[in-house]
Structure formats: structure tokens, C-alpha cells
Structure 1
Amino acid sequence: MPDRIAVIALGGNAITTASRTFSSQYEAVRAAARGIANLAKKYRLVVTHGNGPQVGDALLRNERAAHLVPPLPLHACVAETQGMLGAMIQAALSERLGRDAKIASLVTKVEVSTKDPALGNPSKPVGPTYAKRDLEALGTFPFREVSPGKYRRVVPSPDPVSVLEAGAVKKLVDSDFIVIACGGGGVPVTGDMSFVDAVIDKDLASERLATAIGASLFVSLTDVEGVYMDFWGRRRLLKKASADEMKKLLAAGEFEEGSMEPKVRAAVRFAENTGGKAVIASLRKTAQAASLQSGTVIYR
């Protein structure tokens, strides 16, 4: 087995579909698994994933059926979709690598601080996009314009402090398992193990995990080619940048909050904390991204 550990973070938007059915999303996961499975020859792998579209749909199902069954809180929807997507990824990787491949999916908890100001400031988009005319029918939930004329529901998203199952992930990786963890950023809990009604950004949680287990490469896969200086105009793709350069751009508000901004912040943290390379790239170019030949490479 290879010695180096790579953490591959799949964006929730990159593995969802317009129809949002289970079968269509599983097909998207199967397509993503092709590129990830090929990396198993070069790295010990940990796969993390987002769940913004999926947890948003779970919330809608709960709220619309509240007159029939008690609705689940947000943190329970995170755990529910973490298990569902983990099962999809595990099955898709097994299909590529064989039924006897050592693959484990963990429902992961992530510690957050009760003093985090983000708990009182919903900012993380979840669920599908809506036109402004549709918002009134969706209730009194907070929404934010995420692109011109398009809105998504937003929920609190505190900064992760630590991944509680990091030790278990490391033991499994050292035992030659491919591990699926930090789904949807993990289930948020406080230091006394109380659940928190929020979602954790999966890239920020993935960085905490990658640093804790000694990964040498962190790849964030999404539905765009990499980091753009002018996201909406897509005028210039950054192919390589230092952590210091990216921190200046973060401070200038260059990147979209709740979308590219946390990806860049996680990549900067990983580069600074480990000295390893972080890459933000398209899901369609997984192999090239892992070889630092595609996307945006961030280094210390």
C-alpha cells in the first residue's frame, strides 16, 4: 500500500442532479467514484463529502410532512444524509475496486464552540435554488441570493474545532481501509456532546481531519474548474498561489461566502498547518487534480 494519505472532498453540488432523485444522485456518485478509485494505487484515501442539496431536501420533506410525523431537527437531517451519501459512495467504490475492497463509512461528529458567532448568523446555503417569486410559498426561513436572481435557504455554519472520530479514521487508514468520513461536514456537537442545530462546511471539517491524520494532499472537488478571481465573470483562473497570497484575497472579500470562500480558507489552513499541497478543482478532473495538473494549487 502507498504511504501517503490524500483527503478527497466531494462537493454536495457536484454529486447532485437537477431531478434530485436517489437513482440520479447515485449515478452521479458512481461517476465520481471512477476517478477516486484510480487514486487508491497512489494514496491511502479518505473521502469526505458535502450534503447541502441533500440536507436541504431532507428539511423540506420534514417540514411538509410535519402534520403526519414529528419533523427532525437540522442536526438529525445532517446525520441522516451523511449515512445515505456514505452508503452511496461506499457502494460505488466497491463496484470499482471489488466487493472485497476494504472500505468503511463513518458517521462523524465534529466539535464546535457554543460561543461561535456563526450560530446566530445563518450563512451556509442548503437545498435547491429558487427564484424570488417562489420564496413566499416556502415559509419564513432565511434565504440569501447566491447568484443573480437565484436564492437558497441559509442555516448557521460554525467553524469546526476538531473531528471527534479522527483517531478512528487514522487507525482504519493505517489498516489499509479507504475511509468515508465528515459527510456534510459531520454532525455538530459541543464539548459536552450536545447536538447543535447547524451544519458544518465540509471543506473546513475535511481540513481538520486531513491535518489530524497527517495527510500530505487535500483535494476539494467541485463543479467549477478552480478558483477564479472574478467568479461570476470567470475571467481568470488561478492555477497556483501561496497561502499568503490567498489570505490577502480572502481578506479583500474576493470569494463567495458559503461557497468558494470556505474552500479557499480550508486549503490555506491545510497548506499552513501541514506544508502539504491543497487543490481546488473540477470533479471531472480528479486524477489531474491529484497530480497537481489541474485546478488551483495552494502551497505554503
Structure 2
Amino acid sequence: MRVYFVDHQPEKLDGILPELSASNADGPPPPNLIIGVATFALSIPQRDPGHGDAAMTALPNDLPPSTLSNERHRIMRFSLAKKLALSLMMLAGVASAAGAAGPTATTSTDVEGLWLYTGLVSKGRDMPLTGVFLFKGGELLQQAVFNGEPADQQAAMAHAGTYAPTPIGVNLVTEQLIGIAPTAAMPLTFKPDVKHTLKVERAADDLKITFGSGTVQTLRRVGSGNGKVYKVPNGRFAFTDGYFVIVAGDGSAAVTGYGQYEAAGNDYRLKVIRWAEVADGKVAYRAEGETVKVRFDGTTLTLPGGQHKTVTK
């Protein structure tokens, strides 16, 4: 709290007003900036010489010109100080009330939750994509396929690993970094234990993450991360907020995808949003809206084709 007292001496406002003006350059003073113009007829009315036209008129006409001028300036300064004090008290009250009601939007580096992509820009190039990013309890899953036609010829990327908060964002360790390029001679690329430092800017349910390379990804929060992430020997999968996400693989094979799901006991029906996998050097994409049936008993996830993923954590 900052309090200014001018002890019944309006001339001291000459030093206060420039500072107040500088503090107020971008808007009204914040609630913790309190200006107290000491009493000025508020607590010591007997010192009040009056203000405005009435006070000017009340001055004796026979005063020496210099004294008359000084008195007029004193009355004008006093009137200004009184109006300033009252105005700032009202303004501080309004600002305090607004602060108590809470901000309309928050800005933070908190990434916890389930997010869907809204955009990606790399080296100044807009690269539309459809995908998901899950941050939950220090574990992460990411999967996306770039938009375009034909859909099954577009590149896909996926990450699984861990993250930790930093003052400006998060540090990622992607235990599985998977790239799928259907038209490439070697369609599957895999890198283990890749570290990323991200700058994070969040406003309510909108998230902007900037990689060290300068790539910017934007996302929209669709869930709090209500569910569970399961670790398997070569990746992770999760059931959370009505969505299923899987990223599992190595340099020889990979399965990545996400969508919404319905469960009946240990049987799950996945409605694919994006899905890309590689086995024996062949790429297979599943169409949006396609249904995939899997089984999960809490220990083993059984995928189509007899693939089994056993939970290790």
C-alpha cells in the first residue's frame, strides 16, 4: 500500500501528480495504490478556506495584489486537492470491488487437462492438423495427423512421456517420439528420450505452447484430465474425459490414435478421430468415425489384430 500525505499543503501535490500520472498511464490506479490527501477539510474542516467561486468572492478587495494572488492560488490548489481525494477514494473503491469479483480471464502456465489442437505454425508456415494433447499428473500423450487429401497420405506425429512445470512453461521428456510419413521410403521414424523446453501461455481454456525451435502450437481445453494414464513397455494410453488416446511403439512398429469411447465392462468401442499405425513397414490409417473394438481388463489392453499391451504402471 502506498499512502501520500501532504499535511494541509496543497503545493506538495506538485510532486505527487507526476508520479500518479505515471502510475496511471495504462489505466486507473490499482486497488493497492491509495492516495491519501491529508485531511484537507475532510478531517480538519476548520482549516478549509472554502473553494470555488464562493471562496474567491469572499476574499477582501483591499489585500495587496501579491497576497491576493497567493490566496487565489491556494484556494484553487485546495479545491483541486479536495476533488482529487474524493475522486481517488471512489476510484479505489470501484477497483477493489472489481478485484474482489475476480478477473474475467486468467493467464497461467498450468497445462493440466485434455486439449485439442486449433493450429500449428512452424517457421512461419501454417500447418493445419487435427490432434490431441493430454497433460495429466506429470505424464503426457500427444497424437495428431496433418490435414489434407488424400487423408491416408498425410504425415502423423505422436509423443508419450513425462513433463515437469517451469516458471515459464513445462519441460518435456518424450520417451517415445514417433513420426509416420506414408509416402516416405522409411515411413516410421522413432526417437527415444527427447527433451523439449516449452514456453506456455494460457488464458482460460486457450493454450499456446512455443517450442525452442520456434514452432507454435495452439490448443483448446476440452477436459480436466479426469481419468487415468496407463504405462506400457513402449508407450502409454489413457481413458480420460470420454476420450481414448494411445501412443506406443519403437523403431519397428507403432500404433497411435485417439477418439471418443463408450465402455461396457471390459469392452470398449472407440470412435476414431485420428489413427495411424505402422507394422512390417506398412502404414495403416483408420478413417474418422470408424469404430475400433478393444478390450481392457485393467491389466492388458487388447487391440485389433491381437496386439496386447500389458500395463506396467
- TM-score, length basis structure 1: 0.23
Query: Looking at CA atoms only, which structure, 1 or 2, has the larger radius of gyration?
Result: 2
Q: Which has the higher helix share?
A: 1
Comparing both chains, which one has the higher relative contact order based on Cα–Cα distances under 8 Å and sequence gaps of 6 or more? Answer: 1
Q: Which has the higher strand share?
A: 2
